Amino acid sequence: MTLILKIDPINPEKELIIAAAKVIKEGGTVVFPTETVYGLGANGLDSEACKRIFEIKGRPRDNPLILHISGINSLYNLTVDTDRRLLDFAKKVWPGPITMLFKADPKVPRIVTAGLPTVAIRCPANKIALSLIEESGTPIAAPSANISTKPSTTRLKHILQDLDGKVDMIIDGGQTTFGVESTIIDMTTTPPRLLRPGALTVDEIEKHIGNIIVPKTINQKLIDNETAIAPGMKYKHYAPDKRLVLVSNKDLFAEAAVVAKERQEKIAILCSSQTAKELRESTDLQNITLIILGNGDNLYEIASNLFDAFRTLDDTKAKLGFIQGFDERGIGLTIMNRILKATGNSVAKDPDDIADAIIM
């Protein structure tokens, strides 16, 4: 049975934090909020506790975990060869939605690092998370709190769908702020290299650290025989159960509506509020469910609502969903990374692609 604790995200109740930390100390699992998404946490220095994370999620063992810490000093115990430059950068961006890859100290369990010489670490900007880590007295290993491949969780109802009865405790701290995972950068290279776009944009990182390498293939998944050195690089992620197709040009939504009506198929369109308004004014939406991602002029709002929209798609009677694309600058790079991972890079580029997707 899973115990659910509702904790004030502004002023976390000390006695509730102590109760949650007790579960961590005893080798249990606790779902907790961060500023990005909810995490499925366990004692990051306890191999058996971390093993439960993989079992609960159905997560491949070659997909490393992130260690969450409550302060910079913890880096000295978890990493080696961490120079002053890295520490100065960490002080500027932590607590915050960025994960950094360092050379791992031997005390970090191999199950956490997937047997690699590096470890991913971050200090979350969330009072509940920081209080829980501090009270537990250990770094907390935590991937996103969802079944592997499914959309990450940003609110309690998502967590209950995936993990109720499977974890020891769930902390309800309300909806998360960013709604997408942390940015991951490799600090073992010079210059540092972007491994996963996230809530902290490349421009924001470069203000503090100078230029970083952004691979042209950043939004492509690794192939089976390649090694994932950070979460979110290799496997299909963030996907709803129903098929989702990226539409390269929003004008194709009208074509989708026509084909859906002709074929008597129900489909969903995931789009900005502006695009939804245009469609309502110009298109017969008889067989269409519109799922609004948010204001297209505020991509942080789109990011915050993205995973909830993926789960909403599964709750509809639609056969599949078509989703709008966004400019890949700033947080848009992160949004498109999640969309492409969720669609398996399935993109409709012309009317024939639209028809094929609906008929399939």
List the beta bridge partners of residue 98.
Answer: 183
Q: Write out the two tokens for 32.
A: 């907790």
Report the predicted TM-score, pTM, of the whole model to 2 decimal places: 0.93
Residues with Cβ within 8 Å of residue 31, at least 6 apart in sequence? 38, 39, 40, 41, 145, 153, 159, 163, 167, 169, 170, 171
Q: Write out the two tokens for 163.
A: 């993990």
Q: What percent of the chain has pLDDT over 70?
A: 95
**Dist. CA 222–CA 195, nearest whole Å:** 11
**Dist. CA 307–CA 37, nearest whole Å:** 10
**Dist. CA 41–CA 144, nearest whole Å:** 9
Residue 83 has phi, psi (to 5 degrees) of: -85, 175
Q: Write out the two tokens for 355.
A: 């028809």
**Dist. CA 143–CA 140, nearest whole Å:** 10
pLDDT higher than threshold 60 for residue 347:
yes
pLDDT higher than threshold 90 for residue 283:
yes
What's the confidence (pLDDT) of residue 211?
93
Sorting pLDDT into bands at 50, 70 and 90, what band is 206? very high
Query: Which domains, and CATH codes, for the chain?
Result: 3-209 (3.90.870.10), 243-359 (3.40.50.11030)
Q: 82-117 pLDDT, tens per residue?
A: 777 888 889 999 999 999 999 999 999 999 999 999
